[in-house]
A and B are shown apart, each in its own frame.
Chain A
Amino acid sequence: MEEKQSLNTIYVVNGTGQSIRLQIIIGAIGQTATTSITIGDTIGGTITTIVENFTGGVFDDVIGTNIGLDGKTLSIVSTITDTSVDTNLTELHITLKGGPRVKKYPLLSKTVEAQGNSASYICVIDFFKP
Protein backbone atom coordinates (compact mmCIF):
# COMPACT_ATOMS: atom_id res chain seq x y z
CA MET A 1 0.00 0.00 0.00
CA GLU A 2 1.43 3.37 -1.06
CA GLU A 3 2.06 5.60 1.92
CA LYS A 4 0.88 9.18 1.71
CA GLN A 5 0.92 12.02 4.22
CA SER A 6 -0.64 14.87 2.27
CA LEU A 7 -3.92 15.24 0.42
CA ASN A 8 -5.49 18.21 -1.33
CA THR A 9 -8.87 17.62 -2.94
CA ILE A 10 -12.39 18.91 -3.54
CA TYR A 11 -15.65 17.93 -1.84
CA VAL A 12 -18.67 18.78 -3.93
CA VAL A 13 -21.54 20.40 -1.99
CA ASN A 14 -25.03 21.41 -2.98
CA GLY A 15 -26.95 24.56 -2.12
CA THR A 16 -29.00 23.06 0.69
CA GLY A 17 -28.87 23.63 4.42
CA GLN A 18 -28.07 19.97 5.10
CA SER A 19 -25.27 19.48 7.62
CA ILE A 20 -21.82 18.32 6.62
CA ARG A 21 -20.24 15.89 9.07
CA LEU A 22 -16.51 15.29 9.36
CA GLN A 23 -15.16 12.07 10.83
CA ILE A 24 -11.47 11.51 11.59
CA ILE A 25 -10.08 8.30 13.04
CA ILE A 26 -6.43 8.15 14.08
CA GLY A 27 -4.30 5.03 14.43
CA ALA A 28 -2.80 2.62 14.72
CA ILE A 29 -3.65 1.18 18.15
CA GLY A 30 -1.55 2.76 20.89
CA GLN A 31 -0.24 5.84 19.06
CA THR A 32 -0.34 9.42 20.39
CA ALA A 33 -1.66 12.25 18.26
CA THR A 34 -2.48 15.94 18.28
CA THR A 35 -4.71 17.43 15.60
CA SER A 36 -6.00 20.82 14.58
CA ILE A 37 -8.96 21.48 12.28
CA THR A 38 -9.72 24.85 10.75
CA ILE A 39 -12.04 26.21 8.09
CA GLY A 40 -10.72 29.05 6.00
CA ASP A 41 -12.57 31.51 3.86
CA THR A 42 -10.10 32.42 1.14
CA ILE A 43 -12.28 35.23 -0.12
CA GLY A 44 -12.85 36.92 3.21
CA GLY A 45 -9.49 35.81 4.58
CA THR A 46 -10.98 34.60 7.87
CA ILE A 47 -10.02 31.34 9.55
CA THR A 48 -12.39 29.59 11.92
CA THR A 49 -10.85 27.07 14.28
CA ILE A 50 -13.04 23.99 14.70
CA VAL A 51 -10.63 22.40 17.14
CA GLU A 52 -7.02 23.04 18.11
CA ASN A 53 -4.73 20.76 20.10
CA PHE A 54 -7.20 17.87 19.88
CA THR A 55 -5.49 14.86 21.47
CA GLY A 56 -8.09 12.16 20.95
CA GLY A 57 -8.26 9.52 18.27
CA VAL A 58 -11.82 10.05 17.06
CA PHE A 59 -13.38 13.29 15.82
CA ASP A 60 -16.97 13.08 14.64
CA ASP A 61 -18.93 16.31 14.38
CA VAL A 62 -20.91 18.62 12.15
CA ILE A 63 -18.69 21.36 10.75
CA GLY A 64 -21.22 23.35 8.76
CA THR A 65 -23.88 23.15 6.10
CA ASN A 66 -23.65 22.59 2.36
CA ILE A 67 -24.54 26.19 1.53
CA GLY A 68 -22.49 27.59 4.41
CA LEU A 69 -19.31 25.75 3.45
CA ASP A 70 -19.42 26.47 -0.29
CA GLY A 71 -16.21 28.30 -1.22
CA LYS A 72 -14.47 27.51 2.05
CA THR A 73 -11.47 25.31 2.74
CA LEU A 74 -11.14 22.66 5.43
CA SER A 75 -7.58 22.17 6.73
CA ILE A 76 -6.62 19.23 8.93
CA VAL A 77 -3.12 19.08 10.37
CA SER A 78 -2.14 16.15 12.57
CA THR A 79 1.09 14.83 14.08
CA ILE A 80 1.13 11.21 15.21
CA THR A 81 3.91 9.73 17.34
CA ASP A 82 4.64 6.03 17.56
CA THR A 83 4.14 5.15 21.24
CA SER A 84 2.94 1.63 20.56
CA VAL A 85 5.15 -1.39 21.21
CA ASP A 86 3.14 -3.51 18.75
CA THR A 87 3.34 -1.47 15.56
CA ASN A 88 5.18 1.39 13.84
CA LEU A 89 2.20 2.30 11.67
CA THR A 90 0.58 5.73 11.92
CA GLU A 91 -2.58 6.48 9.96
CA LEU A 92 -5.40 8.94 9.44
CA HIS A 93 -8.87 8.05 8.15
CA ILE A 94 -11.05 10.94 6.94
CA THR A 95 -14.70 10.78 5.91
CA LEU A 96 -17.09 13.53 4.88
CA LYS A 97 -20.86 13.04 4.81
CA GLY A 98 -23.78 15.27 4.08
CA GLY A 99 -23.02 16.42 0.57
CA PRO A 100 -24.30 14.69 -2.56
CA ARG A 101 -21.81 11.88 -1.86
CA VAL A 102 -20.27 10.28 1.19
CA LYS A 103 -16.56 10.58 0.65
CA LYS A 104 -14.13 8.22 2.36
CA TYR A 105 -10.73 9.59 1.50
CA PRO A 106 -7.79 7.35 0.58
CA LEU A 107 -5.90 6.34 3.68
CA LEU A 108 -3.11 8.66 4.76
CA SER A 109 -0.46 6.57 6.46
CA LYS A 110 3.21 6.23 7.22
CA THR A 111 5.16 3.44 8.87
CA VAL A 112 7.86 5.13 10.92
CA GLU A 113 11.21 3.49 11.54
CA ALA A 114 11.02 2.96 15.29
CA GLN A 115 9.09 3.76 18.44
CA GLY A 116 9.41 7.44 19.25
CA ASN A 117 9.36 8.61 15.64
CA SER A 118 6.57 10.86 14.42
CA ALA A 119 4.75 11.62 11.18
CA SER A 120 2.79 14.75 10.31
CA TYR A 121 -0.22 14.84 8.01
CA ILE A 122 -1.94 17.57 6.03
CA CYS A 123 -5.38 17.27 4.48
CA VAL A 124 -6.94 20.22 2.65
CA ILE A 125 -10.44 19.93 1.23
CA ASP A 126 -12.08 22.67 -0.83
CA PHE A 127 -15.87 22.75 -0.55
CA PHE A 128 -17.20 23.56 -3.99
CA LYS A 129 -20.61 23.86 -5.57
CA PRO A 130 -20.17 23.42 -9.35
Chain B
Amino acid sequence: MKKIIIIIFCFGLNISGFSQIVQDTTVKLNLLKAPSSPGSNLLGFASSDIDKPTDLSAFMASLQSSTGAFTQLPSNFAFEIVPYWLFKTKTDFTTKGLNSEKKSDIFKQTFALSFAIRNPDSTNADYKVSNTYGAIGFKFSLVRGKYDTKTNETLNKIRNLQNKINKGIRDDLNTLLNSDSTFKKLSKLRKNMLSKFGGDEELAGKDSTYKAVDDAINQLQKKILEKPNSAFDKINEIASPLILNRTGCSLDIAGGVSGEFINKRFDNSRVYNAGLWATFGHTGVRGGSTLFLIRYLYNPNKIFALDNAVNKKVSDISTLDFGGRYVYSNSDSRFTCSAEAIYRSVLSSSTISPSWRLIFNADYAIWQNQKLTFSFGRNFDGVVSKDGNLVAALGFLIGLGNNR
Protein backbone atom coordinates (compact mmCIF):
# COMPACT_ATOMS: atom_id res chain seq x y z
CA MET B 1 0.00 0.00 0.00
CA LYS B 2 2.83 2.33 0.92
CA LYS B 3 4.46 1.69 -2.47
CA ILE B 4 1.20 2.51 -4.25
CA ILE B 5 0.89 5.78 -2.31
CA ILE B 6 4.49 6.73 -3.15
CA ILE B 7 3.95 5.98 -6.85
CA ILE B 8 0.73 8.02 -6.88
CA PHE B 9 2.51 10.85 -4.98
CA CYS B 10 5.27 10.93 -7.62
CA PHE B 11 2.64 10.85 -10.37
CA GLY B 12 0.89 13.76 -8.63
CA LEU B 13 4.08 15.79 -8.75
CA ASN B 14 3.95 15.68 -12.52
CA ILE B 15 0.44 17.01 -12.70
CA SER B 16 0.61 20.68 -13.52
CA GLY B 17 -2.25 23.07 -13.84
CA PHE B 18 -4.21 21.33 -11.06
CA SER B 19 -4.53 24.62 -9.26
CA GLN B 20 -7.00 26.83 -7.48
CA ILE B 21 -7.08 30.47 -8.58
CA VAL B 22 -4.13 31.64 -10.74
CA GLN B 23 -2.19 34.57 -9.29
CA ASP B 24 -2.07 37.86 -11.11
CA THR B 25 1.56 38.36 -12.07
CA THR B 26 1.07 41.58 -14.07
CA VAL B 27 1.63 43.89 -11.10
CA LYS B 28 5.26 43.64 -10.04
CA LEU B 29 7.24 45.21 -7.21
CA ASN B 30 9.63 46.67 -9.78
CA LEU B 31 6.89 49.17 -10.71
CA LEU B 32 7.79 51.01 -7.51
CA LYS B 33 11.47 51.35 -8.46
CA ALA B 34 12.88 54.82 -9.01
CA PRO B 35 13.28 55.76 -12.68
CA SER B 36 16.86 55.90 -13.93
CA SER B 37 16.51 59.61 -14.74
CA PRO B 38 13.79 61.10 -12.51
CA GLY B 39 13.63 64.63 -13.95
CA SER B 40 13.39 63.38 -17.54
CA ASN B 41 11.00 60.52 -16.78
CA LEU B 42 8.54 62.84 -14.99
CA LEU B 43 7.98 64.54 -18.35
CA GLY B 44 7.69 61.28 -20.21
CA PHE B 45 11.08 61.14 -21.92
CA ALA B 46 12.23 57.64 -22.84
CA SER B 47 15.68 56.56 -21.66
CA SER B 48 16.95 56.50 -25.24
CA ASP B 49 16.05 60.19 -25.66
CA ILE B 50 18.04 61.36 -22.65
CA ASP B 51 21.43 62.89 -23.41
CA LYS B 52 24.17 61.81 -20.99
CA PRO B 53 27.32 63.83 -21.73
CA THR B 54 30.51 62.63 -20.07
CA ASP B 55 32.74 65.59 -20.78
CA LEU B 56 32.26 69.34 -20.82
CA SER B 57 32.95 69.87 -24.49
CA ALA B 58 30.37 67.25 -25.54
CA PHE B 59 27.92 68.79 -23.07
CA MET B 60 28.40 72.31 -24.42
CA ALA B 61 28.09 71.03 -28.00
CA SER B 62 24.82 69.31 -27.11
CA LEU B 63 23.46 72.42 -25.41
CA GLN B 64 24.54 74.62 -28.29
CA SER B 65 22.77 72.36 -30.77
CA SER B 66 19.51 72.20 -28.84
CA THR B 67 19.38 75.93 -28.13
CA GLY B 68 20.23 77.13 -31.63
CA ALA B 69 23.64 78.42 -30.54
CA PHE B 70 22.26 79.69 -27.23
CA THR B 71 19.66 81.94 -28.86
CA GLN B 72 16.53 80.22 -27.49
CA LEU B 73 15.32 77.62 -25.03
CA PRO B 74 15.33 74.06 -26.41
CA SER B 75 11.94 72.78 -27.58
CA ASN B 76 12.24 69.21 -26.26
CA PHE B 77 15.42 68.28 -24.51
CA ALA B 78 16.44 66.03 -21.64
CA PHE B 79 19.85 65.36 -20.21
CA GLU B 80 21.48 63.80 -17.20
CA ILE B 81 24.88 64.62 -15.76
CA VAL B 82 27.13 63.13 -13.11
CA PRO B 83 28.67 66.39 -11.86
CA TYR B 84 31.63 64.88 -10.05
CA TRP B 85 32.70 63.12 -13.26
CA LEU B 86 31.73 65.86 -15.70
CA PHE B 87 33.86 68.46 -13.96
CA LYS B 88 36.75 66.01 -13.49
CA THR B 89 36.98 66.34 -9.75
CA LYS B 90 39.38 64.13 -7.84
CA THR B 91 36.86 61.34 -7.47
CA ASP B 92 37.87 57.86 -8.51
CA PHE B 93 35.32 56.37 -10.90
CA THR B 94 37.23 53.22 -11.79
CA THR B 95 36.28 49.90 -10.20
CA LYS B 96 38.85 50.54 -7.47
CA GLY B 97 37.09 53.73 -6.43
CA LEU B 98 33.61 52.31 -6.93
CA ASN B 99 34.37 49.74 -4.23
CA SER B 100 34.97 52.46 -1.65
CA GLU B 101 32.88 52.38 1.53
CA LYS B 102 33.37 56.06 2.38
CA LYS B 103 30.04 57.90 2.47
CA SER B 104 31.52 60.90 0.65
CA ASP B 105 32.86 58.69 -2.17
CA ILE B 106 29.58 56.81 -2.52
CA PHE B 107 27.64 60.07 -2.74
CA LYS B 108 29.98 61.69 -5.27
CA GLN B 109 30.06 58.59 -7.48
CA THR B 110 26.30 58.07 -7.53
CA PHE B 111 25.00 61.65 -7.51
CA ALA B 112 23.31 62.51 -10.79
CA LEU B 113 21.14 65.43 -11.87
CA SER B 114 18.56 65.25 -14.63
CA PHE B 115 16.88 68.11 -16.45
CA ALA B 116 14.17 68.20 -19.05
CA ILE B 117 12.12 70.70 -20.98
CA ARG B 118 9.08 69.92 -23.08
CA ASN B 119 7.09 72.05 -25.48
CA PRO B 120 4.33 69.63 -26.44
CA ASP B 121 2.46 69.38 -29.70
CA SER B 122 -1.15 68.35 -30.21
CA THR B 123 -0.31 64.64 -30.48
CA ASN B 124 0.42 64.35 -26.76
CA ALA B 125 -2.81 64.43 -24.74
CA ASP B 126 -1.02 64.56 -21.36
CA TYR B 127 0.15 68.14 -21.95
CA LYS B 128 -1.31 71.43 -23.13
CA VAL B 129 0.14 72.79 -26.34
CA SER B 130 0.06 76.37 -25.07
CA ASN B 131 2.25 75.59 -22.08
CA THR B 132 5.90 74.74 -21.50
CA TYR B 133 7.01 72.10 -19.01
CA GLY B 134 10.34 71.89 -17.21
CA ALA B 135 11.66 69.32 -14.74
CA ILE B 136 14.61 68.74 -12.50
CA GLY B 137 15.54 65.50 -10.76
CA PHE B 138 18.27 63.97 -8.66
CA LYS B 139 19.44 60.59 -7.45
CA PHE B 140 22.20 59.38 -5.17
CA SER B 141 23.16 56.53 -2.89
CA LEU B 142 24.10 56.80 0.75
CA VAL B 143 24.94 53.16 1.38
CA ARG B 144 26.34 50.68 -1.09
CA GLY B 145 27.42 47.06 -0.84
CA LYS B 146 30.96 45.95 -1.63
CA TYR B 147 31.97 43.79 -4.57
CA ASP B 148 31.59 40.13 -3.69
CA THR B 149 34.55 37.74 -3.43
CA LYS B 150 34.24 36.39 -6.97
CA THR B 151 34.10 39.91 -8.44
CA ASN B 152 37.15 41.01 -6.46
CA GLU B 153 39.11 37.95 -7.55
CA THR B 154 38.29 38.61 -11.21
CA LEU B 155 39.24 42.27 -10.95
CA ASN B 156 42.56 41.35 -9.34
CA LYS B 157 43.29 38.90 -12.16
CA ILE B 158 42.55 41.65 -14.68
CA ARG B 159 44.88 44.06 -12.90
CA ASN B 160 47.70 41.50 -12.76
CA LEU B 161 47.42 40.95 -16.50
CA GLN B 162 47.30 44.71 -17.08
CA ASN B 163 50.50 45.03 -15.07
CA LYS B 164 52.18 42.43 -17.30
CA ILE B 165 51.12 44.37 -20.39
CA ASN B 166 52.42 47.62 -18.90
CA LYS B 167 55.76 46.01 -18.08
CA GLY B 168 56.20 44.89 -21.68
CA ILE B 169 55.35 48.35 -22.97
CA ARG B 170 57.72 50.00 -20.48
CA ASP B 171 60.59 47.77 -21.59
CA ASP B 172 59.98 48.64 -25.25
CA LEU B 173 59.61 52.31 -24.37
CA ASN B 174 62.88 52.38 -22.43
CA THR B 175 64.63 50.82 -25.40
CA LEU B 176 63.19 53.53 -27.66
CA LEU B 177 64.03 56.40 -25.33
CA ASN B 178 67.54 55.28 -24.42
CA SER B 179 68.85 53.21 -27.31
CA ASP B 180 67.13 54.28 -30.52
CA SER B 181 69.55 56.74 -32.13
CA THR B 182 66.97 58.16 -34.57
CA PHE B 183 64.53 58.82 -31.78
CA LYS B 184 67.17 60.43 -29.60
CA LYS B 185 68.32 62.70 -32.44
CA LEU B 186 64.75 63.78 -33.19
CA SER B 187 64.07 64.51 -29.49
CA LYS B 188 67.21 66.63 -29.25
CA LEU B 189 66.31 68.45 -32.48
CA ARG B 190 62.83 69.23 -31.16
CA LYS B 191 64.24 70.73 -27.96
CA ASN B 192 66.72 72.87 -29.90
CA MET B 193 63.95 74.14 -32.17
CA LEU B 194 61.77 74.95 -29.15
CA SER B 195 64.63 76.95 -27.68
CA LYS B 196 64.75 79.05 -30.84
CA PHE B 197 61.10 79.88 -30.29
CA GLY B 198 61.90 81.00 -26.74
CA GLY B 199 60.20 77.99 -25.21
CA ASP B 200 56.82 79.04 -26.61
CA GLU B 201 55.21 75.73 -27.60
CA GLU B 202 52.20 77.36 -29.23
CA LEU B 203 54.40 79.43 -31.47
CA ALA B 204 56.66 76.48 -32.24
CA GLY B 205 53.63 74.34 -33.06
CA LYS B 206 52.77 76.65 -35.94
CA ASP B 207 56.13 76.01 -37.56
CA SER B 208 55.84 73.22 -40.15
CA THR B 209 59.33 71.85 -39.52
CA TYR B 210 58.81 71.68 -35.77
CA LYS B 211 55.49 69.99 -36.36
CA ALA B 212 57.07 67.46 -38.71
CA VAL B 213 59.74 66.55 -36.14
CA ASP B 214 57.11 66.27 -33.42
CA ASP B 215 54.94 64.03 -35.63
CA ALA B 216 57.92 61.79 -36.45
CA ILE B 217 58.68 61.32 -32.74
CA ASN B 218 55.07 60.46 -32.02
CA GLN B 219 54.89 58.00 -34.91
CA LEU B 220 57.93 56.11 -33.62
CA GLN B 221 56.47 55.92 -30.13
CA LYS B 222 53.03 54.89 -31.37
CA LYS B 223 54.48 51.75 -32.97
CA ILE B 224 55.11 50.27 -29.52
CA LEU B 225 51.36 49.89 -29.05
CA GLU B 226 51.03 47.95 -32.30
CA LYS B 227 53.00 45.02 -30.92
CA PRO B 228 50.61 42.10 -30.24
CA ASN B 229 50.26 40.76 -26.71
CA SER B 230 48.36 37.63 -25.76
CA ALA B 231 47.55 39.11 -22.35
CA PHE B 232 44.84 41.21 -24.02
CA ASP B 233 43.00 38.04 -25.03
CA LYS B 234 43.37 36.60 -21.52
CA ILE B 235 41.89 39.77 -20.03
CA ASN B 236 39.03 39.63 -22.53
CA GLU B 237 38.20 36.03 -21.55
CA ILE B 238 37.70 36.93 -17.91
CA ALA B 239 36.42 40.50 -18.27
CA SER B 240 33.78 40.12 -20.99
CA PRO B 241 31.37 37.99 -18.89
CA LEU B 242 32.15 39.94 -15.70
CA ILE B 243 29.18 41.20 -13.70
CA LEU B 244 30.07 43.51 -10.85
CA ASN B 245 28.00 41.88 -8.10
CA ARG B 246 27.76 43.47 -4.68
CA THR B 247 26.82 42.15 -1.28
CA GLY B 248 25.71 44.10 1.73
CA CYS B 249 23.27 46.93 2.34
CA SER B 250 22.20 49.65 -0.04
CA LEU B 251 20.20 52.84 0.30
CA ASP B 252 19.24 54.86 -2.77
CA ILE B 253 17.26 58.09 -2.88
CA ALA B 254 15.76 59.71 -5.96
CA GLY B 255 13.35 62.54 -6.57
CA GLY B 256 12.14 65.08 -9.02
CA VAL B 257 9.64 67.85 -9.65
CA SER B 258 8.24 69.32 -12.82
CA GLY B 259 6.59 72.66 -13.42
CA GLU B 260 3.97 73.78 -15.88
CA PHE B 261 4.54 77.28 -17.27
CA ILE B 262 1.16 78.57 -18.37
CA ASN B 263 1.19 80.18 -21.80
CA LYS B 264 4.97 79.76 -21.75
CA ARG B 265 5.39 82.48 -19.11
CA PHE B 266 7.92 82.03 -16.29
CA ASP B 267 5.86 84.22 -13.93
CA ASN B 268 2.77 82.02 -14.24
CA SER B 269 3.52 78.47 -13.21
CA ARG B 270 2.43 75.59 -11.01
CA VAL B 271 3.76 72.20 -10.01
CA TYR B 272 2.83 69.66 -12.68
CA ASN B 273 3.99 66.46 -11.01
CA ALA B 274 6.60 65.23 -8.57
CA GLY B 275 8.00 62.04 -7.13
CA LEU B 276 10.21 60.83 -4.31
CA TRP B 277 11.63 57.30 -4.13
CA ALA B 278 13.64 55.48 -1.49
CA THR B 279 15.09 52.00 -1.93
CA PHE B 280 16.61 49.94 0.86
CA GLY B 281 18.24 46.65 0.03
CA HIS B 282 20.47 43.92 1.37
CA THR B 283 22.16 41.14 -0.57
CA GLY B 284 23.58 38.33 1.49
CA VAL B 285 26.65 36.30 0.76
CA ARG B 286 24.75 33.00 0.84
CA GLY B 287 21.99 33.91 -1.62
CA GLY B 288 19.34 35.84 0.32
CA SER B 289 18.36 39.32 -0.80
CA THR B 290 15.89 41.82 0.61
CA LEU B 291 14.41 44.90 -1.00
CA PHE B 292 12.11 47.61 0.33
CA LEU B 293 10.73 50.38 -1.85
CA ILE B 294 8.78 53.48 -0.90
CA ARG B 295 7.34 55.81 -3.50
CA TYR B 296 5.49 59.09 -3.13
CA LEU B 297 3.97 60.57 -6.28
CA TYR B 298 2.16 63.83 -6.81
CA ASN B 299 -0.16 63.84 -9.81
CA PRO B 300 1.13 60.66 -11.44
CA ASN B 301 -0.05 59.81 -14.96
CA LYS B 302 -1.61 56.59 -13.64
CA ILE B 303 -3.08 55.88 -10.22
CA PHE B 304 -1.59 52.65 -8.91
CA ALA B 305 -4.27 52.25 -6.22
CA LEU B 306 -6.93 52.24 -8.95
CA ASP B 307 -5.22 49.46 -10.94
CA ASN B 308 -3.27 52.03 -12.95
CA ALA B 309 -6.30 53.95 -14.16
CA VAL B 310 -5.34 57.10 -16.07
CA ASN B 311 -5.22 60.17 -13.85
CA LYS B 312 -7.33 62.79 -15.58
CA LYS B 313 -5.82 65.42 -13.26
CA VAL B 314 -9.13 67.00 -12.40
CA SER B 315 -7.85 67.61 -8.90
CA ASP B 316 -4.48 67.16 -7.22
CA ILE B 317 -3.70 63.58 -6.20
CA SER B 318 -0.94 62.28 -3.95
CA THR B 319 -0.18 58.58 -3.76
CA LEU B 320 1.98 56.58 -1.41
CA ASP B 321 3.00 53.04 -2.24
CA PHE B 322 5.49 50.74 -0.65
CA GLY B 323 6.56 47.20 -1.04
CA GLY B 324 9.06 44.61 0.02
CA ARG B 325 10.56 41.43 -1.34
CA TYR B 326 12.74 38.68 0.03
CA VAL B 327 14.38 36.18 -2.32
CA TYR B 328 16.48 33.22 -1.37
CA SER B 329 18.39 31.56 -4.20
CA ASN B 330 21.71 29.76 -3.88
CA SER B 331 23.41 27.86 -6.71
CA ASP B 332 24.53 25.24 -4.15
CA SER B 333 21.04 24.66 -2.80
CA ARG B 334 18.01 22.95 -4.33
CA PHE B 335 15.64 25.18 -2.41
CA THR B 336 14.54 28.64 -3.50
CA CYS B 337 11.82 30.84 -2.12
CA SER B 338 10.55 34.37 -2.39
CA ALA B 339 7.99 36.54 -0.67
CA GLU B 340 6.66 39.85 -1.92
CA ALA B 341 4.22 42.38 -0.48
CA ILE B 342 2.86 45.61 -1.97
CA TYR B 343 0.74 48.30 -0.33
CA ARG B 344 -0.81 51.09 -2.37
CA SER B 345 -2.86 54.11 -1.34
CA VAL B 346 -4.12 57.51 -2.35
CA LEU B 347 -3.38 60.06 0.37
CA SER B 348 -5.50 62.90 -0.92
CA SER B 349 -8.76 61.03 -1.28
CA SER B 350 -10.89 59.23 1.27
CA THR B 351 -13.03 57.56 -1.42
CA ILE B 352 -10.20 55.38 -2.74
CA SER B 353 -9.34 52.69 -0.20
CA PRO B 354 -5.78 51.47 0.21
CA SER B 355 -5.12 47.86 -0.73
CA TRP B 356 -2.35 45.32 -0.34
CA ARG B 357 -1.07 42.15 -1.93
CA LEU B 358 1.09 39.30 -0.66
CA ILE B 359 2.73 36.47 -2.62
CA PHE B 360 4.85 33.62 -1.36
CA ASN B 361 6.63 31.14 -3.68
CA ALA B 362 8.83 28.19 -2.86
CA ASP B 363 10.29 25.37 -4.89
CA TYR B 364 12.57 22.44 -4.29
CA ALA B 365 14.45 20.66 -7.09
CA ILE B 366 14.05 16.94 -6.51
CA TRP B 367 15.84 15.96 -9.68
CA GLN B 368 17.27 18.02 -12.53
CA ASN B 369 13.92 18.37 -14.32
CA GLN B 370 11.55 17.73 -11.46
CA LYS B 371 10.52 20.41 -9.00
CA LEU B 372 8.21 20.53 -6.05
CA THR B 373 6.48 23.92 -6.16
CA PHE B 374 4.20 25.82 -3.82
CA SER B 375 2.76 29.31 -3.98
CA PHE B 376 0.30 31.23 -1.89
CA GLY B 377 -1.02 34.73 -2.35
CA ARG B 378 -3.60 37.34 -1.47
CA ASN B 379 -4.42 39.77 -4.25
CA PHE B 380 -5.38 43.43 -3.92
CA ASP B 381 -9.08 42.51 -4.11
CA GLY B 382 -8.74 40.21 -1.09
CA VAL B 383 -8.93 36.98 -3.07
CA VAL B 384 -6.62 34.27 -1.74
CA SER B 385 -4.89 32.06 -4.26
CA LYS B 386 -2.94 28.80 -4.04
CA ASP B 387 -0.89 27.19 -6.78
CA GLY B 388 1.86 24.68 -7.45
CA ASN B 389 2.10 20.93 -7.78
CA LEU B 390 2.74 20.41 -4.04
CA VAL B 391 -0.73 21.80 -3.36
CA ALA B 392 -2.11 19.37 -5.93
CA ALA B 393 -0.21 16.39 -4.48
CA LEU B 394 -1.17 17.20 -0.89
CA GLY B 395 -4.79 17.54 -1.93
CA PHE B 396 -4.61 14.21 -3.71
CA LEU B 397 -3.01 12.47 -0.70
CA ILE B 398 -5.52 13.97 1.66
CA GLY B 399 -8.21 12.54 -0.60
CA LEU B 400 -6.59 9.07 -0.34
CA GLY B 401 -6.43 9.40 3.45
CA ASN B 402 -10.13 10.32 3.66
CA ASN B 403 -11.10 7.30 1.58
CA ARG B 404 -9.39 5.04 4.10
Contact = CB atoms under 8 A, between A and B. Distances in A.
Nearest to B93: A29
Interface in B72-101: 82, 85, 88, 90-98
Contacts of B97: 56-58
Contacts of A78: 166
B173 interface: yes
A48 interface: no
Contacts, number: 165
A32 B191 contact: no
B163 A31 contact: no
A118 B239 CA distance: 9
Contacts of A28: 54, 85, 93
Contacts of A56: 92, 94, 96-97
Contacts of B85: 27-29
Contact of A58 (B90, B174, B232, B241): B90
A34 B240 contact: no
B244 interface: yes
Contact of A35 (B109, B166, B238, B242): B166
A97 interface: no
B201 A10 contact: yes
Interface stretch (B115-123, B218-226, B257-265): B218-226
B240 A114 contact: yes
B71 interface: no
Contact of A57 (B54, B82, B92, B217): B92
B337 to A, nearest CB: 29
B158 A32 contact: yes
Interface string B175-203: 00110000010010011001100110100
Interface in B88-139: 88, 90-98, 109
Contacts of B82: 29
Contacts of B65: none
A83 B244 contact: yes
Contact of A116 (B177, B214, B236): B236
Q: What interface size band does chain A fall in?
A: 35 or more
A6 to B, nearest CB: 4
B54 A87 contact: yes
Contacts of A27: 54, 85, 93-94
Contacts of A114: 240
B98 A10 contact: no
Contacts of B313: none
B155 A36 contact: no
A104 B242 CA distance: 34
Contact of B191 (A10, A29, A52, A79): A10
A58 B236 CA distance: 24
B165 A40 contact: no
A33 to B, nearest CB: 5
A75 interface: yes
B159 interface: yes
A53 interface: yes
A12 interface: yes
Given A8-B217, A93-B88, A116-B240, A32 B155 contact: yes
Nearest to A93: B88
B177 A120 contact: no
A81 B162 contact: yes
A58 B85 CA distance: 12
A5 interface: yes
B384 interface: no
Nearest to B154: A83
A57 to B, nearest CB: 3
Contacts of A77: 166, 169-170, 173
**Candidate in A25, A60, A81 with the most chain B CB atoms within 10 angstroms:** A81
Interface string B133-177: 000000000000000000000010011001101110110011001
Contacts of B165: 79, 118, 120
B79 to A, nearest CB: 15
B235 A47 contact: no
**Candidate in A8, A52, A73 with the most chain B CB atoms within 10 angstroms:** A8
Interface in A83-114: 83, 87, 89, 93, 100, 107, 114
A83 B239 contact: yes
Contacts of A83: 95, 155, 158, 239, 242, 244
Given A82-B239, A117-B236, A124-B177, A30 B218 contact: no
A38 to B, nearest CB: 7
Contacts of B167: 36
Contacts of B190: 10
Contacts of A60: 90
Contacts of A87: 54
Interface of A: 5-10, 12, 23, 25-36, 38, 40, 42, 45, 47, 52-53, 55-58, 60, 73, 75, 77-79, 81-83, 87, 89, 93, 100, 107, 114-118, 120, 122, 124, 126, 128-130
